[in-house]
Amino acid sequence: MTLAEEPTTATPEKEIGKARRRKEDARLITGRTTWTDNMVLPGMLHLAVVRSPVAHAKITNVDLSAAREAPGVVAVFSGQDFKEEQGSIPCAWPVTPDMVNPGHPSVAVDEVNHVGEAVAVIVGRTKSAAQDAVELVDVDYDLLPPVLDMEQAVAQGTGLCHDHLESNESFTFVFDAGDAGTGVDTEQAFADADVVVSRRFVQQRLIPAFMEPRSVVVQPQGDNYTLWSSTQVPHILRVMLAMVTGVPEHKLRVVAPDVGGGFGGKLQVTPEEVLSLLVARRLGKPVKWTETRSESLMSAHHGRDQIQYIDIAADREGNVKGLRCRILADMGAYLRLVTPGVPVLGAFMFTGIYKFPAYRFECRGIFTNKVPTDAYRGAGRPEATFAVERIMDELAVELGMDPLELRRKNWINAEEFPFTTVAGLEYDSGDYETATRQALELIGYAELREEQRRRRESGDPVQLGIGFSTFTEMCGLAPSRVLGSLSYGAGGWENASIRMLPTGKVEVVTGSTPHGQGHETAWSQLVADSLGVPFEDVEVLHGDTSVSPRGLDTYGSRSLVVGGAAVMKAADKVVAKARRVAAHMLEADEDDLEFSGGTFSVRGTPGTGLSIQEIALATFAAHNFPEGMEPSIDAEATFDPVNFSFPHGTHICAMEVDTETGMVKIRKYASVDDVGVVVNPLIVEGQVHGGLAQGIAQALYEEAVYDADGNLTTGTFVDYLVPSAADLPHFDTGNTVHAAPGNPIGAKGVGEAGCIASTPAVVNAALDAVRHLGVSDILMPLTPERVWRAIHQGGDGGGRATAGTVAWGGASTETTTGVSTDESSLGGDR
């Protein structure tokens, strides 16, 4: 045995591509961390919000006297108390110049426009004191008829959601490829086409249902305020809160501590955040508000909710000639942060991966007396992908073609990238054929088709179907110039800085605030490779506007693609500065230095190395520094992409349908995704699985249902069905890699891919199983009842009875008792 040391010149293993377990998970999973609701400040008061039990009414009187006298209650406020200072919840995305925004008070003043809207706020010494007083607030409502159905809302002579507006329409947004010069005339294309297929698809309303309920803590200190919130967007929140409340931006610090999920649901400036700040300012005391799950389901923003009228034109050989989309998008009662922008984001993705020569998109934003919609995982792209992947199947049926053959005939070929679509986007890279071939192998396509044939021939009560989704999406929100052209109120850049500590450890500050994605792990891997430091020596700081002053946070699969790119750029700058110091210390020319594995060495002179850690210490001491150079090798960088990135993939679902009961069961699911270069395969796999779960949930399980009076009857997780692992199949996943040319990592983004791709694959599979029985559409979610009705009674399965399924479901919560009428058929009365 020798005592030889490990050679220090060995190149450390590359971190990028390694399936590192996430360094943040131990604290996140055990909950031993700073969830906002875990925070306790001296003298902290607790808020409870009184919410409207009715969907549409004038408030004629609010009597707070009994609540004010309740034990442990410090103060009670109604909308009257804050009407001068609460402003409006901001909408940062006026999608058209004449978009109508009714204004969104944080606490209702004269009228309520959806069940769950705040009408008063109780401030108690304890949470239970505040909660106990909620029932003591007496509000008189003068009921108005609610507007709940979009197709009725746009009809002539209908009731109004907001009686001070002229109609229920917020905006009409049009993209016409002919007008834009990116395609030919759409009307002409349809007039000339051999075949036109028209369908009406419904994107049901969904609830983001993040794991950690929302929570806010505000601490006033002198004329400063610190606001902790379970938010995805501390940086955006700070700017917006300053604008709304008049607290100057430099007097407001916003912190997103560890945040337990969002899925877009925490990409918001919430009424409760504004209220908490207003109450803390009024009382000069720290306050906390944490929502209950019931409050979350009924008052946090919802997602999706579109009615899509889709027309596709083609010739008899199956060459697509045009796509026309007319969309009704439900805004809910108000416009929140990016409410109108969500359907507009989708406008450019309805053509999917296909070479349509003509395209027209028309979207009307409609007000209804429901909670506002806003971003939800995919935000616009799942809606678009669903429409195009469903209509391609319908066209294939019309033409008598194999759905995959039709897709192949029309998709962009690998050698055609970069490809500018009829919607004007430049798709960066990919190979749809290879991904599809791989997915077909993964699922065992030939055997499944054979089994399908056997079951059909034998009239098996359980039929089998196979559905495809060959999708792409756009990630990496966003090129600031593009956002500007779409009238979005902010840019899309991201910021990062790197601090080299004297001991050689590294602090990475990112403006992309995580809420469960694993930034700390992935960023550490990026920096470990770039600087040649150990993975463990990197600490990632985020989420506090006083620690990471510049950033635009996490949504739209942007973090790695934009935020990670900023980290890479900052690391390059650190290396460049360190190189200058190394050259000075090694008395060599900068150009003669090579940097590898964290060490600078003079080319051709072995044993001359100087590690970046040694340089960090030398920088700290600054005893011997290059002439004219500031003693720092820290660096900051901002990355603004020039284009989106476009992940793509092929998802195939095999579905069993029990024709006797309507029960559907996913037999097999295979997905091959191209998300560009993979930094951490474990995180990517997790994102794909979670995305698939959510996309499948839209197809099969989840729907926010309102009854005829506007009560949310899916008011608990008993009736809003979020599937668990037990309800989902095994996923066979694979990937192809085409590096994104638009960022230094080559990553395309993966946060939403599974969610965007899977929904149409699942619905197409179910339809493929029963199409020979005369079924051409089934509304989502595919409840057994709808599937059974579609098979045995025709149609699309129809609406659902709206009563909750157990006594404690429906619009009744601890703060409001749902008001039911004969029409509303609420649960609990059977």
Partner 1 sequence: MIPAPFAYARPTTVDEALEAVASGGEDVKILAGGQSLIPVMRLRLAAPETVVDLTRVAELRGVREEEDAIVIGAMTTHSDVLSDPLIARYAPLIAEATGTVADRQVRHRGTFGGALAHADPAGDLPAVALALDAEFVIAGLQGRRTVPATEFFVDYLTTALEEGELLVEVRVPKLGGTWGMRYEKFNRVAQAWSIVAVAAVVRREEGRIAEARIGLTNMGPTPLRAHAVEAALVDVEATGEAVAAAAEHAAEGTSPSSDLNAQADYRQHLATVLTRRAVTVAAGL
Rounded least distance, CB 292 to partner 1, Å = 4
Tokens 């409760």 appear where? 272
Rounded least distance, CB 289 to partner 1, Å = 14
Give 648's strand partners: 472, 674
Tokens 């059909």 appear where? 456
C-alpha distances in angstroms, 751 versus 21, 373, 556, 690?
17, 20, 8, 9
Distance CA 91, CA 340 (A): 8
Rounded least distance, CB 660 to partner 1, Å = 5
Which CB sits closer to partner 1, 624 or 793? 793
Distance CA 51, CA 58 (A): 14
Which CB sits closer to partner 1, 205 or 238? 205
Rounded least distance, CB 701 to partner 1, Å = 7
Which CB sits closer to partner 1, 485 or 724? 724
Rounded least distance, CB 641 to partner 1, Å = 40
Which CB sits closer to partner 1, 83 or 127? 127
C-alpha closest to that of 43 among 297, 285, 337, 361: 285
C-alpha closest to that of 421 among 473, 374, 355, 487: 355
Reduce the secondary structure of 415-460 to three states and give it as a string. HHCCEECCCCCEECCCCHHHHHHHHHHHHCHHHHHHHHHHHHHHCC
Which CB sits closer to partner 1, 537 or 727? 727
Sign, CA torsion 33/37/38/39: positive
Distance CA 769, CA 656 (A): 7
| CB neighbour list of residue 475: distance below 8 Å, 6 or more residues apart | 556, 557, 558, 561, 644, 645, 646, 647, 748, 749, 750, 751, 752
Cα angle at 654 between 652 and 659, to 5 degrees?
145
Which CB sits closer to partner 1, 734 or 784? 784
Helix (H, G, I), strand (E, B) or coil at 82: helix
Rounded least distance, CB 763 to partner 1, Å = 16
Bond prior to 418 in cis (omega within 30° of 0):
yes
Rounded least distance, CB 724 to partner 1, Å = 6
Rounded least distance, CB 249 to partner 1, Å = 35
Instruction: Give the start-end residues of each E strand in 570-716.
Output: 593-596, 599-602, 610-611, 635-639, 648-658, 664-674
Which CB sits closer to partner 1, 229 or 815? 815
Which CB sits closer to partner 1, 178 or 797? 797
Contact 117/299 with Cβ under 8 angstroms?
Answer: yes
Please give the residue ranges that form the binding site for partner 1 (CB under 8 A).
Answer: 127-128, 131-132, 135, 292-294, 660-661, 663, 701, 705, 713-714, 716, 718-719, 721, 723-724, 726-727, 783-785, 788-789, 800-809, 812-814, 825, 827, 830
Which CB sits closer to partner 1, 309 or 808? 808
Rounded least distance, CB 795 to partner 1, Å = 14
Torsion angle of C-alpha atoms 719, 725, 728, 730, degrees rounded to 10: 180
Which CB sits closer to partner 1, 46 or 668? 46
Rounded least distance, CB 710 to partner 1, Å = 16
Instruction: Tell me how far apart the terminal alpha carbons of the chain are, to the nearest angstrom.
Output: 82
Which CB sits closer to partner 1, 611 or 714? 714
DSSP 717-755: TTTS----GGGS--EEEEE-----TTSSS-B---TTHHH
Order across the sheet with 45-51: list the strands: 73-78, 118-124, 45-51, 287-290, 215-221, 224-229, 252-255
Rounded least distance, CB 807 to partner 1, Å = 7
Which CB sits closer to partner 1, 132 or 634? 132
Rounded least distance, CB 702 to partner 1, Å = 10
Which CB sits closer to partner 1, 71 or 246? 71
Rounded least distance, CB 508 to partner 1, Å = 38
Rounded least distance, CB 637 to partner 1, Å = 45
Distance CA 90, CA 335 (A): 8
Burial (CB count <10 Å: 0-12, 13-18, 19+), residue 85: middle
Distance CA 752, CA 739 (A): 18
Which CB sits closer to partner 1, 46 or 558? 46
